[in-house]
C-alpha cells in the first residue's frame, strides 16, 4: 500500500522539479537564435556547461569552447573532442568541444592530417561521417578507445553538457536544421558521427544512444576505408541493436584530403542542388558507380552569389514524449519514495 498522504505532499514538488528541468533533447532553437549557453542549470551534480553555443569569428581558434557542432558535408563537419589534452573521452565527455574540418563555425579547426580517411553518407534518414584519424591531434589521449557523445546522458543534460548539432543537409536551400537525435563515437583513432533527420519518425531509433560501449562498427556500420575520402549516397542502416549489416553506398565521389581540408574545395551532398557558399573551385572527382566500376569525371563547383544561407529552423516546440516521460519518471520517483516510507 502506498500511503496517499506521502504522495499528496510530494507529488507537487516532484512535478515542479520535473517541469523546471528540461532535458537537452527537448531544447529547440533556430540556429540564428541560439542562446549563449543552452544549459543554464546551476547546482546540479555535473556542474555548469563548460563552453557556449553562440560561436563566431571571435570565438574561433585553438582556444574555442564552442559547443555547437555542424555536420554539412565531406569537407565541412565537426566532431566532439576534449578542450585540453590529458583526459580520456570517458573522463571528459561532458566538456567536449567542437573540432571542425574547416574555419567558419567559431570552433577549433582540426590540424592538417587529423582525418586520414572518411566516408560521408547521406541516406533517406540521416547524414553521417565515419572515418579514421590521428586522435592525438585533437587533444585525445593516444590509445584511448573512447566513448559516446549524445544529447542524453544519465542526467539528460547531454555529453557534452549543452552540446547542440546543426546541419544544412536536411533542407535544399542552406537552412540550418537543429539535429535532435545524434551520436558521435570517437576512439581507437576512428570516429563516427550520425545526425538523424528530425522530420523522420525513426530518428531516435537510428541515432540510438544506449549502446555506448559498442563503438562505430555496431552503431554506424559503413564502408569507410583509411586513406579514402568519399562522399556517398546510401541506404539507411538497421537501427543499432537490430542487426549489423553494412548498408549499400552508391554514387560516391572521392577526393584528395588536401583538396577538401584546407584546399578550399567544397563538396555537395549527393543529390543536393544546394551549393555551399564558398569560393569557386574546380576539381577532379572520381565517381565510383554502384557496379563497382570506376569512372573519372570532372566536377565543377561554383559558388552561390555569396549570400548567407538563411538560418531558420523547421521543428519547434517540445515533443509530447517529454510529458509522457516526465509523467513516467514522476510515477517511478513516487513509487520509490512510497517504498522508502513503507
Ligand atoms: C560572438 O560569440 C561570443 C561568445 O558566444 C558572444 O559573446 C558574442 O556576442 C558574439 N558576437 C557576435 C557579434 O555575435
Ligand atoms: C599523430 O600525430 C602526432 C602529433 O603530431 C605524431 O607524433 C604521430 O606520429 C601521429 N601518428 C601517426 C600514426 O601519424
Ligand atoms: C528551406 O527549405 C525548407 C524545407 O526543405 C523549408 O521548410 C524552408 O521554409 C525553406 N526556407 C527558405 C528560406 O526558403
Neighbouring residues of 108: CB distance < 8 A, sequence distance ≥ 6? 60, 61, 62, 64, 66, 81, 97, 98, 99, 100, 138
User: For residue 36, which atom of ligand 1 is closest to its CA?
Assistant: 5
C-alpha cell at 319: 515533443
Ligand 3, pocket-test mutation among 30, 172, 312, most atoms within 8 A of CB = 312
Answer yes or no: is the C-beta of 134 below 6 A from any ligand 3 atom: no
Q: How far apart are CA 98 and CA 105, in angstroms?
A: 9
Half-sphere exposure of 43 (CA within 13 A, CB side): 1
Residue 148: predicted pLDDT: 96
**In whole angstroms, how far apart are CA 321 and each of 50, 178, 300, 326?**
28, 18, 45, 8
Ligand whose nearest atom lies closest to the CA of 53: 1
Q: How far apart are CA 224 and CA 245, in angstroms?
A: 14
Residues with CB under 6 A from ligand 1: 36, 52, 54, 56, 58-59
Answer yes or no: is the C-beta of 134 below 6 A from any ligand 2 atom: yes
Residue 153: predicted pLDDT: 94
**pLDDT digit string (tens) for 31-73?**
999 999 999 999 999 999 999 999 999 999 999 999 999 999 9
What is the full per-residue pLDDT of the chain (342 aa) written as tens digits? 445 555 444 544 454 455 589 999 999 999 999 999 999 999 999 999 999 999 999 999 999 999 999 999 999 999 999 999 999 999 999 999 999 999 999 999 999 999 999 999 999 999 999 999 999 999 999 999 999 999 999 999 999 999 999 999 999 899 999 999 999 999 999 999 999 999 999 999 999 998 888 899 989 999 999 999 999 999 999 999 898 889 999 999 999 999 999 888 999 898 777 766 543 333 334 443 333 223 223 233 323 332 333 333 333 333 333 334 444 444 555 555 555 554
Give nearest CA residue, ligand 1 atom 4.
54
User: For residue 111, which atom of ligand 2 is closest to its CA?
Assistant: 5
Give nearest CA residue, ligand 1 atom 9.
54
C-alpha cell at 29: 532553437
Q: pTM to 2 decimals?
A: 0.80
Ligand 2, pocket-test mutation among 112, 114, 116, 134, most atoms within 8 A of CB = 134
CA of 134 to the centre of ligand 2 (A): 6
Give nearest CA residue, ligand 3 atom 5.
171
CA of 54 to the centre of ligand 1 (A): 6
**pLDDT digit string (tens) for 86-116?**
999 999 999 999 999 999 999 999 999 999 9
Answer yes or no: is the C-beta of 310 below 6 A from any ligand 3 atom: yes
Answer yes or no: is the C-beta of 137 below 6 A from any ligand 2 atom: yes
Give nearest CA residue, ligand 1 atom 12.
56
**Bridging pattern class, strands 68-73 and 164-167:** parallel
Give nearest CA residue, ligand 3 atom 13.
310
Give nearest CA residue, ligand 3 atom 3.
171
Give nearest CA residue, ligand 2 atom 12.
134
Give nearest CA residue, ligand 1 atom 8.
54
Answer yes or no: is the C-beta of 136 below 6 A from any ligand 2 atom: yes
Residue 243: predicted pLDDT: 86
Neighbouring residues of 159: CB distance < 8 A, sequence distance ≥ 6? 80, 93, 94, 96, 148, 149, 150, 152, 153
Ligand whose nearest atom lies closest to the CA of 177: 3
Amino acid at each position: 500500500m502506498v500511503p496517499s498522504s506521502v504522495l499528496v505532499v510530494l507529488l507537487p514538488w516532484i512535478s515542479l522539479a520535473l517541469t523546471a528541468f528540461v532535458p537537452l533533447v527537448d531544447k529547440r532553437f533556430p540556429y540564428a537564435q541560439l542562446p549563449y549557453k543552452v544549459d543554464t542549470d546551476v547546482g546540479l551534480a555535473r556542474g555548469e556547461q563548460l563552453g557556449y553555443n553562440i560561436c563566431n569569428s571571435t570565438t574561433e581558434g585553438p582556444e574555442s569552447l564552442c559547443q555547437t557542432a555542424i555536420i554539412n558535408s565531406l569537407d565541412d563537419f565537426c566532431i566532439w573532442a576534449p578542450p585540453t589534452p590529458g583526459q580520456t573521452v570517458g573522463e571528459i565527455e561532458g566538456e567536449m568541444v567542437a573540432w571542425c574540418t574547416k574555419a567558419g563555425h567559431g570552433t577549433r579547426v582540426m590540424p592538417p592530417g587529423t582525418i586520414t580517411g572518411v566516408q560521408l553518407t547521406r541516406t533517406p534518414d540521416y547524414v553521417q561521417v565515419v572515418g579514421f584519424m590521428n586522435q592525438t591531434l585533437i587533444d585525445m589521449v593516444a590509445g584511448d578507445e573512447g566513448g559516446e557523445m549524445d544529447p542524453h546522458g544519465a542526467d539528460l543534460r547531454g555529453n557534452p553538457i549543452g552540446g547542440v548539432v546543426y546541419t544544412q543537409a536536411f533542407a535544399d536551400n542552406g537552412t540550418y536544421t537543429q539535429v535532435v537525435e545524434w551520436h558521435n563515437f570517437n576512439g581507437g583513432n576512428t570516429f563516427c558521427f550520425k545526425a538523424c533527420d528530425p522530420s523522420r519518425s525513426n530518428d531516435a531509433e537510428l541515432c540510438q544512444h544506449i549502446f555506448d560501449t559498442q563503438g562505430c562498427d555496431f552503431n554506424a556500420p559503413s564502408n569507410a576505408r583509411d586513406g579514402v575520402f568519399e562522399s556517398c549516397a546510401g541506404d539507411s542502416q538497421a537501427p543499432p541493436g537490430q542487426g549489423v549489416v553494412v548498408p549499400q553506398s552508391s554514387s560516391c565521389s572521392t577526393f584528395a584530403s588536401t583538396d577538401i581540408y584546407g584546399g578550399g574545395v567544397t563538396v555537395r551532398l549527393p543529390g543536393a542542388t544546394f551549393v555551399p557558399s564558398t569560393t569557386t573551385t574546380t576539381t577532379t572527382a572520381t565517381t565510383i558507380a554502384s557496379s563497382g566500376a570506376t569512372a573519372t569525371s570532372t566536377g565543377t563547383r561554383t559558388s552561390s552569389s555569396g549570400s548567407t544561407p538563411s538560418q531558420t529552423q523547421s521543428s519547434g516546440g517540445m515533443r509530447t514524449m517529454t510529458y509522457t516521460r516526465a509523467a513516467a519518471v514522476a510515477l517511478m520517483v513516487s513509487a520509490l519514495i512510497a517504498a522508502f516510507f513503507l
